[in-house]
Amino acid sequence: MTTFSIEKIREDFPILKEKIRNKPLVYLDNAATCQKPQAVIDSISHLYTHEYANVHRGVHTLSVKATDRYEGAREKVKNFINAQSTKEIIFVKGTTEAINLIAQTFGKANIKAGDEIIITAMEHHSNIVPWQMLCEETGAVLKVAPINLQGELIFAEFEKLISDKTKLVAVVHMSNALGTINPVEKIIAAAKVKNIPVLLDGAQAIPHMSVDVQALDCDFYAFSGHKLYAPAGIGVLYGKQALLEAMPPYQGGGDMIRKVTFEETEYNGLPYKFEAGTPSIADVVGLGAAIDYLTEIGMDNIANYEAELLQYATAKAKTIKGLRIVGEAREKGAILSFVLDKIHPHDIGTMLDSLGIAIRAGHHCAMPVMDFFEVPATARASFAVYNTKEEIDILMNGIEQLIEVFG
C-alpha cells in the first residue's frame, strides 16, 4: 500500500509540469538520472544567496556557515547509510570517481601481479574499466562471475572464483541495465571467509532501498548524488575507517594536507585526506537536502511503492506481443529493460519521445551485458518515487501504437 501522497510528491518536482513536444512529460529515465525536488533546488539557491564561502578555510562568518552546511550534509549521509563515523564518508564526483579512487589507492597499494579481482558479468563500465586499467598496470587478473538468462548472478560460479589470490570483490548492488539486485549479503559472507574486502557499486541501489553499510558489513560502498534526487557532480565513497586510514591519498592539493614544506608533506586525517581541492560545496548541501527529503518519505515506503510500479509495468509489458523483457531476476529493482521484435531501441526512444515519454535507448554503459543477451541495445524504462501507474499506461499504450506504425 502506498503510504504517501503521490500527488503531493509530484508537486515537489517542478520539472514534472514541463510539456515535451506539447505533451505532459512522462519521465522514465530515472536510472540515468533523477529529477530534483524543490527542496534540493532551494537548498542550493539558499546557500548561494545567504551562506556561501569556501569551507574549512576562513575564520569569517560565511566560511563557518558554509562549513557547517557542508559537514552537516556529511553527517546526514553518515546517518542515511548508517556508517559508524563521518570519517568514513568521502565526497567525490560520483560513483565512477569513487571506484577509480579505490583502484588507484587501495588497488595500487594492495594488488600485485598475479592477484585477482572479481567482478560480475552485469557490471556498468565504471566497475569494469578502472579494474582493467589497474590490471594492466600491476599484472593482476580480472575475473568475471557469470550470469544466467534471467540476468541473475550464478552464485555457485562466483564462489568458485574466490581463492587465495583474490584481493578484492567489486560488484554492483543493483544492475542499471537489468534491474537485478545482487545477493550482496551472500557475496560479502563468502568473501569474508577469506578476509577479502568487498566494494559495492550502489549507484542504482541507493535511490530504491534503505542501505545499511554496517549491517551489510561491506568494506566500500560507492554512489552518486544525481540518481538520489540530488545534484550531479557529487557522490560518496563510504569505506571502513581502518581501510581508509591504511590507504595512500588519492589526489594531492589543498585540504588534504596537515603541513606542507618543500621537503615533505604531512597528510590530513579522514575524510579530508581524500578530498583535495575546494569541493563541490553547494552540491554536497543539495545532497543533504535530498537525503532529508527521502528520509521524510521513508526509503522502505519508496521501495514498496516502486515494487508496486514495477510489478504493474511488468505485467502490462508481458501482454504486448513482440516485447521481450531483458532481465527477469527474482530480486529486481524498478527497471524495465526490453526489446521489441524488429524495432530498434533507438526508434522506440524517438517514437516515445514524440509522445512526451523519456526512456533510455542504448547499451546503458554495459556493453558486455548487451553481448550476453545478443542485443545491440535495449529500451529501458526506469521508475522513481514520483512515477504513477497512469504514466505506465501511457508508456504501454505508446509501445503498442509504435508497434502498429512499424507494422
Partner 1 sequence: MFDDLRDLYQEVIFDHNRNPRNFRVMENPDREVEGFNPLCGDRLTLFLKMQGDEIIDASFQGSGCAISTASVSLMTEIVKGKTENEAKELFHQFHAMTTGKEGEVDLQVIGKLAVLAGVREYPARVKCATLAWHTLDAALKNEEKSISTE
Comparison of 66 and 394: residue with beta carbon closer to partner 1: 394
Binding site for partner 1 (CB under 8 A): 21, 342-347, 350-351, 354-355, 361-363, 367, 370, 376-377, 401-402, 405-407
Comparison of 247 and 361: residue with beta carbon closer to partner 1: 361
DSSP state of 151: S
The nearest distance, CB 359 to partner 1, in angstroms, is: 13
DSSP assignments along 300-369, one per residue: HHHHHHHHHHHHHHHHHHHTSTTEEES---SSB-SEEEEEETTB-HHHHHHHHHTTTEE-EEE-TT-HHH
- What's the CA gap between 207 and 121, in Å, rounded? 22
The nearest distance, CB 213 to partner 1, in angstroms, is: 35
The enclosing H or E element of 24 equals strand 23-24
For this structure, is 135 an active site residue? no
Comparison of 170 and 355: residue with beta carbon closer to partner 1: 355
- What's the CA gap between 382 and 400, in Å, rounded? 18
Contact 11, 344 (CB under 8 A): no
- Region of residue 375 (left: phi > 0; alpha: psi -120 to 50; beta: else): beta
Q: Residues 34, 135, 218, 365: which is the catalytic one? A: 365
The nearest distance, CB 269 to partner 1, in angstroms, is: 42
Comparison of 303 and 358: residue with beta carbon closer to partner 1: 358
The nearest distance, CB 367 to partner 1, in angstroms, is: 8
- What's the CA gap between 257 and 276, in Å, rounded? 8
Comparison of 111 and 343: residue with beta carbon closer to partner 1: 343
- What's the CA gap between 211 and 246, in Å, rounded? 25
The nearest distance, CB 203 to partner 1, in angstroms, is: 20
Residues acting as catalytic residues: 365
